Amino acid sequence: MLRARIGVIGMGAAASVFVLAGCGELSAAQTAHKLQSAVPPHSKIRCVPHSGAWNYSCRVTPPRRSGVKPFSTQVMVDGHRIVDLGG
Would you say 68 and 40 are in contact if contact means Cβ atoms under 8 Å apart?
A: yes
Would you say 46 and 56 are in contact if contact means Cβ atoms under 8 Å apart?
A: no
pLDDT for residue 76: 94
4 pLDDT band (50/70/90 cuts)?
A: very low
CA 23 – CA 42 distance, rounded (Å): 30
**What integer best gives the mean pLDDT of the chain?**
78
pLDDT for residue 73: 93
In this prediction the pTM is 0.68
Which helix (H) or strand (E) segment is 29 a member of? helix 28-35
Q: Enumerate the domain spans of the chain.
A: 25-86
Q: Strand pairing partners for 14?
A: 11
pLDDT, tens digit, 9 for 90 and up, residues 42-79: 999 999 999 888 999 999 999 998 888 999 999 999 99
